[in-house]
Amino acid sequence: MKLKDKVFVVTGAGSGMGRELVLQLVAKGARVAAVDVNAATLDETLALLKDNSVLCSKHLLNIADKDGVAHLPQMVIDAHGSVDAIINNAGIIQPFVRVNDLSFEAIHKVMDINFFGLLAMTKAFLPLLLKRPEAHIVNVSSMGGFLPVPGQSVYGASKAAVKLLTEGLYAELRETNVHVSVVFPGAINTNITANSGVHMELPKGAEASDYKTLSATRAAEIILNGIEKNQLRIYVGSDSTFMNFLYRVAPTFATNFIAKKMKGLLG
């Protein structure tokens, strides 16, 4: 789908990949409804657009609020006149602990935002998207959505649910005008840990620089390129691409490989 002159709704627009998606979409001639739960960071995103901020509307919303999500489509229509695509990017991780040590409060929070919030967004906007000449639904899963990561098992379960939901949507909508993409980011340099309210200590003697990450700018470029090509699966980062291959070829080896890599973080 061509991006120019289209109206996109982007969740998690206040930072990280969401912010970069907003900036790059506007730079490519699209209009954007920027959605985030954090008013301050959302304002920062709009400020970065400078004179182009007129192409972007601001919507303060927690996507776990189903009633709020239900009212969002009309707010976007009021601001832009139409809506052509949604990018369900907002998400959080869980505390870095084993399932046995994870509270149900934390479990529900992760599932409510990562899966049920995304599902609510999809159901709220899909009736409008089906009426457009061409439309797109983009759901951000994770490398952890196809590969088990110890200490992020519930987060991975939420992202695996996003993966299968999106692939199911693709099957249901393949004869319609609505394109569907699922995104699998690997390690991306964002502040998702802080935004999730999670404190993570590096292993003794380790530095943050020891963990290679892809910039949010490059991640957004890959995602938008995949949207323009109507790709069903968009792998973001060499780690995501490689681990997808390895997990398909040798799933047990890949699981043990990741478990050893994460051992220092999990303890």
d(C-alpha 2, C-alpha 5), whole Å? 8
What is the pLDDT, as a whole number, of residue 262?
85
d(C-alpha 169, C-alpha 135), whole Å? 13
What is the pLDDT, as a whole number, of residue 191?
74
Share of the chain above pLDDT 70, in %: 93
Question: What DSSP element (H or E) covers 4?
Answer: none
d(C-alpha 196, C-alpha 171), whole Å? 32
Q: Model-level pTM? A: 0.92
To the nearest 10°, the Cα dihedral for 156, 160, 162, 164?
A: 180
208 closest CA partner among 191, 222, 221, 185: 191
Question: Angle CA(195)–CA(39)–CA(113) in degrees, nearest 5?
Answer: 45
Task: Give every CB contact of residue 229 below 8 A, 6+ residues apart in sequence.
Answer: none
What is the pLDDT, as a whole number, of residue 197?
67
Count the neighbouring beta carbons within 10 Å of the beta carbon of residue 116: 17
For residues 182 and 168, is the Cβ–Cβ distance under 8 A?
A: no
Pick the catalytic residue from 155, 211, 235, 247.
Answer: 155
Phi, psi of 6, deg, nearest 5 = -90, 160
Burial 184-195 (b: 16+ CB within 10 A, else e): bbbebbbebeeb
Give me the mean pLDDT over the 249-264 stretch.
93
Task: Give every CB contact of residue 209 below 8 A, 6+ residues apart in sequence.
Answer: none
For residues 93 and 114, is the Cβ–Cβ distance under 8 A?
A: no
- Mapped onto helix, strand or coil, the DSSP state of residue 137 is strand
7-266 topology per CATH: Rossmann fold (3.40.50)
What is the pLDDT, as a whole number, of residue 208?
45
34-92 pLDDT per residue, tens: 999 999 999 999 999 999 999 999 999 999 999 999 999 999 999 999 999 999 999 99
What is the pLDDT, as a whole number, of residue 192?
75
For residues 41 and 12, is the Cβ–Cβ distance under 8 A?
A: no
CA 210 to chain centre: 24
Share of the chain above pLDDT 90, in %: 88
Biggest distance spanned by C-alpha atoms of the chain:
56
Domain-by-domain residue ranges, the chain?
7-266
d(C-alpha 75, C-alpha 81), whole Å? 9
Task: Give every CB contact of residue 245 below 8 A, 6+ residues apart in sequence.
Answer: none
The type of residue at 2 is K
**211 a catalytic residue:** no
49-63, 144-158, 204-218, 231-245: lowest mean pLDDT where?
204-218
125-136 pLDDT per residue, tens: 999 999 999 999
pLDDT over 90 (residue 265): no
What is the pLDDT, as a whole number, of residue 212?
82
199-216 pLDDT per residue, tens: 555 445 444 444 589 999
Looking at residue 24, what DSSP letter applies? Answer: H
